[in-house]
Amino acid sequence: MVDQALLLLRIGVLVLLYLFVWRIARTAIRDVRGSSESMILSPGHGFDPQPASIAPSKPATPGRLVVVESDILPIGAAVVLDQPEVLLGRDPHAAAVLDGDGFVSGRHAMVRLRGGSPTVSDLGSTNGTYVNGGRIAAETPLFEGDEVAVGSTRMIYEPGTTQ
């Protein structure tokens, strides 16, 4: 009686184990979203925008910084990166005038286009420029989905299209 019960439990556990594995493995077939993406962060692996040295082609539509959170700018507003240098700050001549935010310096940060891919650098601002939550010390390249924060304003980088 005990032997039969043990045999049953042993086979039961093995069957359930494979049922479990099968259920998860099956989703591999369905799971097609992003299948062309790579986890390697390198030129030529489909993740980066075009590297500067190879193709200095001008994007057909420029990249943008889309505001996702701000005390002073409307959500969804975008800073269009169509100049070689785009200044962020309270300065009235800045491309993105962030007036009314006490945590933003006059000349706060600069977005530069280096052969189509943008970089951001802090211009010695009091409260710093943040990329993906980290305060930047040097010129930092921006990649799709990166978040740039200046004062209360948080923006997500969307690359343009190259043609």
Partner 1 sequence: MPDRGFLRLPTRNRELALIALALLIATAGFAAVQLARAQEFASSPLIAAAFFAGAYLIAHLVVRITLPDADPYLLPITAVLTALGLIEIYRIDAKLARDQGLWIVLGLVLFVGVIVAFRDIRRLETLRYTCGAVAVVLLLATIVLGSEVNGARLWIRVAGLQIQPGEFAKILLVIFLAGYLRERREVLAAPARKVLGIGVPALRHSLPLLIIAGASLVLLVAMNDLGSSLLFYVIALAMLYIATGRLLFVGLGAGLFALGATAALQITPRVQTRIDGWLHPWADEQAQCCYQITQSIYTIADGGVLGAGFGRGVILNSGGGTIIPYAQTDFIYSVIANEMGLVGATAVILLYLLLAWRGFRIATTADDGFSKLLAAGLATAVAFQVFVIVGGVIRLLPLTGLTLPFVSYGGSSVTANFAIAGLLLCISQRANRERV
Q: State the residues that interact with partner 1 by CB under 8 A.
A: 2, 5-7, 9-10, 12-14, 16-21, 23-28, 30-31, 33-34, 37-45, 47, 66, 68, 132-135, 140-141, 143-147, 156
CA angle 114, 50, 35 (to 5 degrees): 145
**Tokens 């259920």 belong to which residue?**
23
Nearer to partner 1, 35 or 161 (CB): 35
Positions of E strands within the chain: 59-61, 64-69, 78-80, 85-89, 96-97, 109-114, 117-122, 129-131, 134-135, 140-141, 147-150, 153-158, 161-162
Asked if 47 contacts 143 with a C-beta cutoff of 8 angstroms, the reply is yes
Give least dist CB 67 to partner 1, A: 10
Of the chain, the end-to-end C-alpha distance in Å amounts to 75
Give least dist CB 68 to partner 1, A: 5
Nearer to partner 1, 105 or 140 (CB): 140
CA distance linking residue 70 with residue 88, whole number of Å: 14
Using alpha carbons, select from 156, 143, 145 the residue that is nearest to residue 50: 143
Give least dist CB 71 to partner 1, A: 18
Nearer to partner 1, 106 or 141 (CB): 141
Nearer to partner 1, 13 or 55 (CB): 13
Nearer to partner 1, 86 or 149 (CB): 149
Give least dist CB 112 to partner 1, A: 14
Give least dist CB 119 to partner 1, A: 9
